[in-house]
């Protein structure tokens, strides 16, 4: 009696075939992940450590900042800011606010938030301090007062302006306007990149993103699709509808009061230093310029000054996208020319 031939697709032969295919698939996945990891390390986005403290950084790429402490064994960098009880910037060297230059012909008040205050920039390198020196060198000394405050929005700016002009007189007021000054109500409870400072909000440092470039790339793309789109819309929506009308009404209080006091009102619009060459917010800038035109105000929009440049070259730090010392130098030069055209 003949025994039937063993089916090659059953028993040990089948198991070997399954094991071989499984091993081949696993090897293919490992090699693919390795290739993706290598590519991400070479060309993917960087991920930098941060500490949810807007004043300190774990890197010091330009050698500009000082070591201000340690977190664990890691040095952290920053500046030793000196502020008045109201939050106004004082010179870094321990001095008081500078006295008006001898023979100062004009008195200028600066109001705004951390962009105008000079977050991440030494006092002497801020656009306001530079502007004062430029006027003095030109033989036209002016007195500059910088009452910008970190985190100030339009409500705070109105209050700071009102308290300041009640105590001192000025010939002109320069409002350093940033696109988040009207708030971003849609972002309430949503954490992500606000295009200014990654240390802010509920962002959490993820060590795995530092360990795996491929994992960081995946997270980066998810964040970009999920969060950036929401943030973009929130900035634009803050300039539309009833919300924007209320904020423009607050701004109008400063405009009306400045006119009553015989002061020249200037609105200096900062861009967000994010992808300047493919800028996402020209509509918001246009709305501010149109408001100024309708009100007969002088408007210095800084976007054309920076639009040709890489945003990364103008950041205070990889995790802090406030304008750095180079940007402040450029702003001072542009503002000096602009004010000269106004007869200041």
pLDDT string in tens for the chain (344-residue length): 445 455 555 566 677 777 777 777 777 777 766 665 566 555 555 655 555 456 788 889 899 999 988 888 889 899 999 999 999 999 987 766 665 555 667 999 999 999 999 999 999 999 999 999 999 999 999 999 999 999 899 999 999 999 999 999 999 999 999 998 998 665 554 444 445 545 555 556 666 666 565 565 566 666 666 656 677 777 788 888 898 999 999 999 999 999 999 999 999 999 999 889 889 889 999 999 999 999 999 999 999 999 999 999 999 998 888 999 999 999 999 999 999 999 99
- For 52-108, give the DSSP string: S-TTEES--TTS-SEEEEEETTEEEEE---EE-TT--EE-TTS--SPPPPTT--EEE
CATH architecture classification, 56-187+225-341: 3-Layer(aba) Sandwich (3.40)
Residue 170's alpha-carbon distances to 116, 134, 163, 298, in angstroms, are: 18, 19, 13, 16
Q: Is 31 exposed, middle or buried (0-12, 13-18, 19+ CB in 10 A)?
A: exposed
Q: How far apart are CA 328 and CA 128, in angstroms?
A: 8
Q: How far apart are CA 276 and CA 295, in angstroms?
A: 28
Q: What pLDDT is attached to residue 1? A: 46
- Domain extents in the chain: 56-187+225-341
Q: How far apart are CA 32 and CA 84, in angstroms?
A: 57
Q: What pLDDT is attached to residue 219? A: 61
Q: What pLDDT is attached to residue 173? A: 98
**Adjacent-strand bridge partners of 143:** 107
């Amino acid at each position: 009696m003949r025994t039937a031939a063993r089916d090659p697709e059953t028993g040990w032969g089948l198991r070997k075939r399954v094991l071989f295919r499984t091993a081949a698939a696993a090897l293919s996945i490992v090699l693919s992940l390795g290739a993706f990891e290598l590519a991400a390390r070479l060309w993917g986005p960087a991920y930098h450590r941060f500490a949810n403290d807007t004043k300190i950084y774990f890197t010091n790429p330009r050698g500009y900042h000082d070591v201000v402490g340690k977190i664990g064994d890691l040095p952290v960098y920053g500046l030793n800011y000196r502020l008045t009880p109201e939050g106004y910037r004082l010179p870094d060297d321990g001095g008081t606010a500078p006295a008006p230059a001898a023979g100062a012909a004009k008195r200028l008040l600066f109001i705004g938030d951390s962009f105008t205050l000079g977050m991440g920039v030494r006092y002497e390198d801020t656009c306001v301090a530079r502007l004062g020196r430029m006027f003095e060198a030109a033989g036209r000394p002016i007195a500059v007062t910088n009452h910008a405050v970190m985190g100030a929005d339009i409500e705070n700016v109105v209050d700071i302006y009102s308290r300041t002009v009640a105590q001192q007189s000025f010939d002109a007021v320069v409002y350093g306007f940033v696109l988040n000054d009207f708030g971003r109500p849609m972002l309430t409870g949503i954490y992500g990149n606000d295009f200014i400072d990654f240390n802010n909000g509920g962002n959490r440092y993820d060590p795995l993103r530092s360990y795996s470039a491929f994992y960081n790339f995946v997270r980066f793309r998810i964040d970009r699709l999920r969060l950036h789109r929401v943030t973009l819309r929130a900035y634009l929506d803050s300039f539309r509808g009833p919300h924007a009308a209320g904020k423009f009404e607050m701004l109008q209080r400063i405009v009306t009061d400045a006119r009553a006091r015989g002061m020249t009102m200037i609105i200096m619009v900062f861009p967000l230093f994010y992808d300047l060459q493919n800028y996402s917010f020209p509509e918001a800038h246009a709305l501010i310029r149109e408001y100024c035109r309708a009100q007969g105000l002088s408007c210095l929009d800084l976007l054309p000054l920076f639009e040709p440049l890489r945003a990364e070259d103008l950041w205070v730090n990889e995790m802090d996208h406030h304008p750095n010392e180079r940007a402040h130098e450029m702003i001072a030069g542009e503002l000096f020319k602009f004010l000269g055209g106004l007869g200041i």
